[in-house]
Amino acid sequence: MSSDECDYKLDYIMLSSDAIQRRVSELAMEIEREYRGKEIIVTGVLKGAAIFMADLVRRIGPSVDVRMDFIAVSSYGDLSTSSGVVKIVKDMDTYAEDKNILLVEDIMDTGLTLAYLGEIFTARAPKSVRTCVLLEKPDRKKVDTAIDYKGFTIADEFVVGYGLDYAGRWRHLPDIWNVIEKK
């Protein structure tokens, strides 16, 4: 199979763009209530959380001083499941000490990435660290990692769209799709 071909295909829409946007608005309101009058460093985990984070921060009102940053980690590569080994590829540019950090992640699969990032950020002495995750797959969880703001709980299915990808494909789709192996 050439590098341009793909072993997977889109199967069905699991979450529509409308449902996603409604939930993102609800999450933004929750975050705004908690951080009203405060500064937060909203830190997206690249690349998957970029679209979710952009929509989320645009819905947080002016009563919150929102700063944006990014961190890039790797645990999947071109695989459809996490390798379980997490490494920082790009660290955030903002100094985290005595700051309110909101980590934004596209999906919590095993929980290993958020647990790892939680340890990293706690060592940096922030004022607070909270997590906002679009999708949680509780059946895949390997470590008990708390989610402060959760979009949706989904079954253990392979999904793409709205920032999630398979080997760089399908991030641009506005809906979240179930993906299956081609036969």
- Per-residue pLDDT of 119-168, as tens digits, reads 888 899 999 999 999 999 998 888 888 899 999 999 999 999 999 999 88
Query: What's residue 2's pLDDT?
Result: 46
- Any domain includes 149: yes
Rounded Cα gap, residues 11 and 180, in angstroms: 6
Please state, in angstroms and as integers, the Cα–Cα distance from residue 44 to each residue in 5, 74, 101, 155, 158, following that order.
Answer: 30, 13, 10, 23, 21
Q: Which segments within 16-166 are labelled E, that is strand?
A: 39-46, 65-74, 87-90, 100-108, 128-136, 149-153, 159-160
- Any domain includes 36: yes
Domain membership of residue 46 as a residue range: 17-154
Query: What's residue 70's pLDDT?
Result: 96
SS3 at position 40? strand
Query: What's residue 111's pLDDT?
Result: 87
pLDDT, tens only, 18-72: 999 999 999 999 999 999 999 999 999 999 999 999 999 999 999 999 999 999 9
Query: What's residue 142's pLDDT?
Result: 87
- Any domain includes 2: no
Rounded Cα gap, residues 136 and 12, in angstroms: 19
The 3-class secondary structure across 58-87, one letter per residue, is: HHCCCCCEEEEEEEEEECCCCCCCCCCCCE
- Any domain includes 40: yes
- Any domain includes 45: yes
Indicate the number of domains in the chain. 1
Catalogue the active-site residues.
Answer: 109
Q: Which residues of 158-172 are buried (b: 16+ CB within 10 A; e: fewer)?
A: bbbbbbbbbeeebbe
- Any domain includes 170: no
CATH number at residue 33: 3.40.50.2020
Of residues 141, 137, 175, the one with CA closest to residue 157: 137
Please state, in angstroms and as integers, the Cα–Cα distance from residue 161 to each residue in 25, 45, 52, 129, following that order.
Answer: 18, 16, 11, 27
Query: What's residue 84's pLDDT?
Result: 60
Query: Do the Cβ atoms of 74 and 86 come closer than 8 Å?
Result: yes
- Any domain includes 178: no
Of residues 72, 71, 142, the one with CA closest to residue 101: 71
Q: If you average pLDDT over residues 175-182, what whole number do you get?
A: 94
- Any domain includes 3: no
